[in-house]
Amino acid sequence: MSSRIEQIIEEIEEYVDSCKYQPLSTTKIVVNKEEIEELLRELRLKTPDEIKRYQKIISNKDAILEDAQAKADSLIADAQTKAQELVTQHEIMQKAYAQANETINAANKQAQEILDSATQDANSIRLSAITYTDDMMANIGSVLNQTLEDAGGKYKAFIEALQSCLEVVNQNRQELAPQTAQAAAISSSYHGEEEEDDALLDDLTES
* Concatenated DSSP letters of the chain: ---HHHHHHHHHHHHHHHSPBPTT-SS-B---HHHHHHHHHHHHHHHHHHHHHHHHHHHHHHHHHHHHHHHHHHHHHHHHHHHHHHHHH-S-HHHHHHHHHHHHHHHHHHHHHHHHHHHHHHHHHHHHHHHHHHHHHHHHHHHHHHHHHHHHHHHHHHHHHHHHHHHHHHHHHHHHHHHHHHHHHHHHHHHHHHHHHHHHHHHHHH-
- What is the predicted pLDDT for the residue at 141? 64
pLDDT at residue 114, rounded to an integer: 92
What percentage of the chain exceeds 70 in pLDDT?
76
Say what the pLDDT of residue 1 is. Answer: 45
Residues 78-95 pLDDT 10s:
888 988 888 777 877 788
pLDDT for 169 beyond 80: yes
Rounded CA-CA distance 73/68 in Å is: 9
23: pLDDT confidence band, cut at 50, 70 and 90? confident
Higher pLDDT: 110 or 88? It is: 110
Residue 83 one-letter amino acid:
A
> What is the spatial distance between Cα 88 and Cα 78, in angstroms, rounded to a whole number?
15
Nearest to 135 by CA among 74, 54, 193, 192: 54
Instruction: State yes or no: pLDDT of 55 exceeds 60.
Output: yes
Count, residues in the chain: 207
Of 98 and 203, the one with more pLDDT: 98
* Residue 28's pLDDT band (cuts 50, 70, 90): confident
Percent pLDDT > 90 in the chain is: 1
Segment 156-175 mean pLDDT: 84
pLDDT at 207 over 60: no
Give 130 or 18, the one with higher predicted confidence.
18
> Average of pLDDT values for 164-186?
79
Decide which of 175 and 180 is more confident.
175
Grade residue 196 by pLDDT with cuts at 50, 70 and 90.
Answer: low
Q: How many CA atoms lie within 13 A of 189 on its CB side?
A: 6
Looking at the DSSP bridge assignments, the partners of residue 21 are 29
197 pLDDT band, cuts 50/70/90, is low
Average pLDDT over residues 169-177: 82
